Amino acid sequence: MSLIVQKFGGSSVADPEKIRRVAKRVGETADKGNKVVVVVSAMGDTTDDLIALAKKINIKLPAREMDMLLSTGEQQSIALLSMALLGMGYKAISLTGEQAGVQTDKVYGKAKITYITPTRLEEELAKGNIVIVAGFQGVDAQGDVHTLGRGGSDTSAVALAIGLNADYCEIYTDVDGVYTADPRVVPKAQKLSTISFDEMMEMASLGAGVLQPRSVEVAKRFNMPICVRSSFNYNEGTMVQEVKDMKNLENEITISGVACDNNVLKITVFEVPDYPGTAAQLFTVLGQEKVNVDMIVQSGDMLHATNISFTTGQEDKTNMESILQEATTKIGANGFMISDDIAKVSIVGAGMITNPGVAAKMFQVLADNNINIEMISTSEIKVSCVVKASEAKKAVLALHTAFKLDAE
């Protein structure tokens, strides 16, 4: 008998029929003698509908009240899923984030889980209940409701699995698992049977979109295996877990996948005066404005000035113009340019650091395909190149083939 936490997203519980389908799936897991905790998101577009409603009342969307409002979406799904299970003859009970013991910090809209006190949850499991928990939410020490930010239900599920010492956490989604590349872009992409936490974290943050990067980070820290699988079929999914075998070191295929992120903004600041502290000043201003800077390249081809380029996510586009106006004036730079017509293509692989030729091979493949590299960044398990958006697909296909990831 295992203790399994299963998470179903909003599209899986979008209407009564889908809720019953999820209930059937959950029931099957319980029928096998497992203890099951289910984490669900709000039904379909509920969250967006509530945001639209709130905007009609107060365009500023006050943070605390938004959390009070939005957390009702998950509360509705847990009640309905529990009713569906009861209707099928299972013992089931729904718990809000608060009742499930999900404690958060005091940040509204994107709270972090501080700890889990699963007393009630364990009691209900001991009574033989399937326990349905509202994802995306928790309460602070004062009892105020906080949401975890978009996609926070993945993190809820992983955190509950850890708090309960579950055997593993299943994340149900609309794809079969984690692929070597986006199957919509690369028809020959292959499903990975396992992937390490580190690789998954890179894949997630590089736009693979299957899991919330935060949830993988938490899973890694507490070594909680995650199984990503489809809610539409019974195919085996991908296990995200600590990979300890030495296969990668001896195998030519050292990379797990090719990721592509189109949500990139590239900014170049021209002729930044070249004396100590100016770059720091620039990034201090950006930091104060909560701009999340990713890659940075400095090109020093002038005598007393350099150009500095960096990337951020496109969500920062709205205020970027005014922020840069302020920053460039402050440091005495000669203007800036913002470009969103780019993409970041990355190869990810845990064995990469032991194969110094991998980065060189990536650059060579891109060069062979006449794809210009605008920026480069590397880490222990990935190499990322910024290319023109129009060339991203060609780059992904070429890299997928070159690194022998194509299915036969």
Encoded amino acid at 209, one letter: G
Distance CA 54, CA 63 (A): 11
Show contacts of 323-328: CB within 8 Å, 24+ apart.
323/285, 323/286, 323/289, 323/291, 324/267, 324/269, 326/285, 327/269, 327/281, 327/282, 327/285, 327/286, 328/269
143 binds a copy of itself (CB under 8 A): yes
The nearest distance, CB 87 to a copy of itself, in angstroms, is 4
From candidates 20, 146, 229, 266, binder to a copy of itself by CB under 8 A? 20
Distance CA 210, CA 178 (A): 7
Q: Which of 174, 82, 67, 96 is nearest to 129 (CA)?
A: 82
> What counts of helices (H) and strands (E) characterise the chain?
12, 20
Segment contacting a copy of itself (CB under 8 A): 78-86, 234-242, 269-277, 369-377?
Answer: 78-86
Segment contacting a copy of itself (CB under 8 A): 53-61, 107-115, 225-233, 335-343?
Answer: 53-61
Burial class (CB in 10 A: 0-12, 13-18, 19+), 104: buried
- DSSP assignment, residue 133? E
From candidates 6, 12, 41, 94, binder to a copy of itself by CB under 8 A? 94
Do 324 and 331 meet the contact criterion of CB atoms below 8 Å apart?
no
From candidates 2, 48, 57, 341, binder to a copy of itself by CB under 8 A? 57
SS3 251: coil
SS3 309: strand
16 binds a copy of itself (CB under 8 A): yes
The nearest distance, CB 343 to a copy of itself, in angstroms, is 38
- Using alpha carbons only, give the angle 33, 37, 41 rounded to the nearest 5 degrees: 140
Task: Provide the 10 A C-beta neighbour count for residue 353.
Answer: 13
36 binds a copy of itself (CB under 8 A): no
Do 124 and 95 meet the contact criterion of CB atoms below 8 Å apart?
yes
Closer Cβ to a copy of itself, 19 or 239, answer by number: 19
Closer Cβ to a copy of itself, 16 or 273, answer by number: 16
x-marked contacts with a copy of itself along 312-351 as a string, rule CB under 8 A:
----------------------------------------
From candidates 2, 24, 53, 404, binder to a copy of itself by CB under 8 A? 53
From candidates 110, 112, 120, 188, binder to a copy of itself by CB under 8 A? 120
6 binds a copy of itself (CB under 8 A): no
From candidates 36, 84, 162, 206, binder to a copy of itself by CB under 8 A? 84
From candidates 29, 72, 377, 401, binder to a copy of itself by CB under 8 A? 72
96 binds a copy of itself (CB under 8 A): yes
Rg (CA), the chain: 23
DSSP letters of 316-373? GHHHHHHHHHHHHHHHT---EEEE-SEEEEEEE-TTGGG-THHHHHHHHHHHHTTPPP
The nearest distance, CB 249 to a copy of itself, in angstroms, is 52
Closer Cβ to a copy of itself, 68 or 185, answer by number: 68
144 binds a copy of itself (CB under 8 A): yes
SS3 306: strand
79 binds a copy of itself (CB under 8 A): yes
Task: Provide the 10 A C-beta neighbour count for residue 228.
Answer: 24
Segment contacting a copy of itself (CB under 8 A): 58-66, 168-176, 243-251, 337-345?
Answer: 58-66
230 binds a copy of itself (CB under 8 A): no
Closer Cβ to a copy of itself, 57 or 353, answer by number: 57
103 binds a copy of itself (CB under 8 A): no
Residues lying near a copy of itself in the complex (CB under 8 A) are found at 16, 19-20, 50, 53-54, 56-62, 64-66, 68-69, 71-72, 75-76, 78-80, 82-84, 86-87, 93-94, 96, 98-99, 120, 142-145
